[in-house]
A and B are shown apart, each in its own frame.
Chain A
Amino acid sequence: MSIHDLTATELIRRLESGDLSSVEVVQAFLKRIEQGDGRVRAFVRVEANRALSAAERIDQRRRGGESVGRLGGLPVAVKDVICTEGQATTCASKMLQRFTPPYDATVIRRLKQADAILIGKTNMDEFAMGGTTESSALATTCNPWDLARVPGGSSGGAAACLAAGMVPLSIGSDTGGSIRQPASFCGVNGLKPTYGRVSRFGLIAFASSLDQIGPLARNAEDLALLLEVLAGHDPSDSTSANVPVPEYSRLVSQPLDGLTLGVVREHFGEGLDSQVQEAVREALRVYESLGATVKDISLPHSRYAIATYYIIACCEASSNLARYDGVHYGYRTDETAMLADLAAEQRALTSRGDSPLLDDLDSPLVRMYRQTRSEGFGAEVKRRIMLGTYALSHGYYDAYYVKALKVRRLIRNDFDAAFREVDLIAGPVAPTPAYRLGEKTEDPLAMYLGDLYTVSANLAGICALSVPCGLNGQGMPIGLQLQGPLLDEQRLLRAARMYQTVTDWHTRRPEGF
C-alpha cells in the first residue's frame, strides 16, 4: 500500500514506530498534489517548503527521543476560511485576496500544538456561501470522481483533496451542511460537531449562531482522532462549550449495544433521488444486521427548515459582512477613479438642476463603501447580503427574522422529542449525488433546496456526520447522514465505525487518483 492510501491512524502508527518519517509522508502527499491538483484544483495555496521544513523539525525531535503531539508529522489541509497567522486567508473572495491574518485561529493553534503539518489552504464557496464551490473567486474545484461534476460545498476543496488522496486529514466549516454535503459528494467522511464543541475564534464569520468547524477524513476512526485535537473550551470564544472532551479516538472502536436509529418520514418524500434512497435504505438494513432497531419518526417542522435557515443565515451574514468596508483590511476600490465618477455625476445633476437626486447622491465615504463592496463581493454573497438586509429592514423584521427564530425553536423541539425515542437519526445527506458544474448556478432557490436534510442540525445546534454508503449507476458517491443529540459526537462516531467494520464504501477511491 502506498503512503497516500493509508489512513491517518495508520500513518501515525508508522510515524511513531519509525517505519516512516514525516518528511517521507509530506513528500508523498506533495507529489500527489503535484500530480493531481492541476485537474482537481482543490488547493488555493500549497505551502510545500514550509511543510517540508516543519516535517524535518518533527523528524529531528522524534530521533532525539522528544515526545511529539498527537498528529506529529502528519499533513492536514485547512479550508481558506480559517485564519493562519502570516499566511494569506482569502475566503475565496476578491475582498480578502490580499489579507494576511495577524493571528492564528484557535483550531490552528491546536493543530500546531498537536504537531500537525499545515500543508495548504483549500478552495471553497466565497465566504462559505454555496453548495458547489463554484462561487469561489479564485478557482473552480472539480469532483475527483468525475471532473465534470461539482465537489459540493462550501468545503469543496477540503473534501476533494481528501478524495483524491492529496492529504490524509482536512478541516472544513459547516453552517448549513458545508462539511457533510461535500463529504457525501466526494465519498469521504465529514463531521459537523455540536455548536460550541469547537472554538470559532479565527473562523471568518458567515452566520455566527450556525457556523462550526469540523473534521473531514477517510473513516470514522480518523474523524475521531482529528475531532479530539480540535475540540475543547476556548475562553476566546464565549459560545464555546465549557465541558470535558471525551477520548473519541479510544471510544470510537466500541460498538453500541441496542442502538435505536430514527428514520424521518419527511426525509423520504418528493425530490429524493431513488438511488440515494435505495443506498440509505440498504445502510439501514446493515445496521439492523448489526442488531440495531430502526424506528419510523417524524420531525413535523422539517419542511420549514430551508426557509428558516436562509432567513437566519442571511440576516447574520448581512450583519457579519458589514465589516468589509474597504477601511480596515481587504479590498478597496480605486479611489481616484471613484471620486472622479462621483464628481462627474454631481456636475451632471447640477447642470440639470435636479436637486432631489443631488441630495440623494452618495457622500465620498458612502460611495467608497458601496463601490468597494460591489467590486469585492461575488453574486451569491451579494444576494445573501441583500436578502438578509431586506429581512432585517424596517417593517419586515418581525415577519421574517423573528418569525424564523420562533420556527427555529419548534425545529429544535422536534429534535428534543425525537431523541427521547431514538439514539440517533439516520437518513440522506443530500437529495442527489454530485451534479454537473454550472447546472444550478443561475437558480439560487433550487440550490438552496438541496440543503434540505442538512440545515436542521445547524439550526438545532446538534452534531451530525456523513459517511459514504454507496455509489450510483454513474459511479458517483452517496452519503449517509447520522444526526445525534447535543454534545454526543462519541455516539455518532461509534455508530459510523460500526458500519465501517462491515462495509467498504469508505475505502473506495476515484479512478485516476
Chain B
Amino acid sequence: MSLTRQQIVKVSLLARLRLQDDELDRMTHQLDQVVSYMDLLAEVDTEDAEPMAHAVEQTNVFAEDHVLPSLDRESALSNAPKRDEQCYRVPAVLGD
C-alpha cells in the first residue's frame, strides 16, 4: 500500500503540524518507505495473541486517599509563553 500526499496533509492536521511543500514531499516519501516496511507484520499469525500494552503489566495500582499539596499556581504558570496573573493566555477561541 502506498501513502499519498493527500493522506499526509490530512495526518498533519490531526497531528497539529503544519508542513511546508518541500516537507510534505519528503515526508510522503520517507513515511511511505517506513510504512511499507511495517507491512511486514501482516505475515505474523496473531490469532491467539493477547495485545500487550505494557511491558510489566500491573492492574489497579491505588493510592491512599490523602490530600497532598500540589504544584502552586505560580509554579504551574512560571513556564507559560503567555499568561496573566491567574491564567494561561491563548488566541481567541470563539469567532467574532
Contact = CB atoms under 8 A, between A and B. Distances in A.
Contacts, number: 176
B67 interface: no
B41 A308 contact: yes
B40 A307 contact: yes
Interface stretch (A121-129, A251-259, A365-373): A365-373
A445 B56 contact: no
Contacts of A367: 18, 91
Interface residues of A, number: 76
A328 B91 contact: no
B93 A365 contact: yes
Given A196-B56, A301-B44, A310-B38, A407 B49 contact: yes
Given A238-B58, A308-B41, A364 B52 contact: no
A39 interface: no
Contacts of B19: 374, 382
A210 B90 contact: no
Nearest to A411: B52
Contacts of A308: 41
Given A102-B78, A304-B41, A382 B54 contact: no
Interface in A103-154: 103
A328 B34 CA distance: 33
A346 to B, nearest CB: 11
A226 interface: no
A374 B11 contact: no
Interface in A361-400: 363-371, 373-374, 377, 379, 382-383, 385-387, 389-391, 393, 399-400
Nearest to A98: B79
A15 B16 CA distance: 52
Interface in B57-96: 58, 61, 63, 71, 75-76, 78-82, 88, 90-93, 95
A100 B58 CA distance: 32
B55 A407 contact: no
A98 B78 CA distance: 11
B56 A486 contact: yes
A245 interface: no
Given A327-B81, A370-B16, A386-B8, A444 B30 contact: yes
Interface of B is mostly: loop
Interface residues of B, number: 51
Contact of B58 (A99, A235, A239, A400): A239
B81 A403 contact: no
Contact of A327 (B8, B58, B88): B88
Contacts of B53: 209, 405
Nearest to B38: A307
A45 B33 CA distance: 37
B64 to A, nearest CB: 9
B90 A327 contact: yes
Contact of A322 (B8, B16, B49): B16
Nearest to B60: A238
Most chain A Cβ neighbours within 10 Å, of B8, B49, B56, B79:
B56
Contacts of A41: none
Interface in A315-353: 318, 322, 325-332, 335, 339
A363 B41 contact: no
Contacts of B23: 379, 382
B11 A386 contact: yes
25 contacts: A100-B79, A196-B56, A209-B53, A239-B54, A304-B40, A308-B41, A326-B81, A328-B80, A339-B91, A370-B12, A383-B30, A385-B15, A386-B11, A386-B27, A387-B35, A391-B38, A403-B42, A405-B51, A405-B52, A406-B44, A407-B49, A409-B50, A412-B52, A445-B34, A461-B55
Given A100-B79, A307-B38, 18 more contacts: A100-B78, A102-B78, A103-B71, A235-B63, A239-B61, A326-B81, A335-B82, A365-B93, A373-B16, A383-B30, A386-B15, A387-B34, A389-B14, A390-B11, A399-B42, A403-B46, A410-B44, A486-B56
Interface of A: 98-100, 102-103, 194-196, 209-210, 235, 238-239, 241, 301, 303-304, 306-308, 310-311, 318, 322, 325-332, 335, 339, 363-371, 373-374, 377, 379, 382-383, 385-387, 389-391, 393, 399-400, 402-410, 412, 444-445, 448, 458-461, 486
Which 6 residue pairs across A and B have the least CB separation, nearest first? A461-B55, A329-B79, A405-B51, A332-B81, A406-B46, A195-B55
